[in-house]
């Protein structure tokens, strides 16, 4: 079993975490959702998280630079249904 990064959750369905469970000959999604009735974006749950991009080059880091991490703000994401979301 392995958990996916926070940037891969379906935040429009109030999903807070997602995991993949592997077995002999199968793989299945396990989703963790919050029981909320509002259809709007929940800013208290989806705080900015690591985007998966480096903020430093090696030379900058080795030279002692101190930059803030590149984060992903869920409010700026354009909502699109991917093929993976439709199949589930």
80 pLDDT higher than 70: no
Q: By residue range, what is the domain housing residue 25? A: 2-87
Model confidence band, residue 82 (pLDDT cutoffs 50, 70, 90): very low
Residue 83 has pLDDT above 50, yes or no: no
Question: What is the mean predicted confidence (pLDDT) over 30-56?
Answer: 76
Tally the domains of the chain.
1
Here the tokens at position 22 are 């592997």
The pLDDT mean for the chain works out to 77
pLDDT at 88 over 50: no
pLDDT at 59: 92
Global model pTM greater than 0.85 = no
């Amino acid at each position: 079993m392995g958990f996916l990064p926070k940037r891969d959750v379906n935040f429009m369905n109030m999903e807070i975490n997602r995991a993949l469970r592997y077995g002999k000959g199968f793989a299945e999604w396990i989703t963790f959702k919050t029981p909320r009735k509002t259809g709007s974006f929940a800013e208290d749950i989806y705080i900015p998280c690591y985007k998966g991009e480096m903020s430093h080059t090696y030379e900058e880091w080795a030279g002692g630079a101190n930059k803030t991490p590149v984060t992903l703000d869920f409010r700026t994401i354009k909502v699109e249904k991917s093929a993976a979301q439709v199949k589930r």
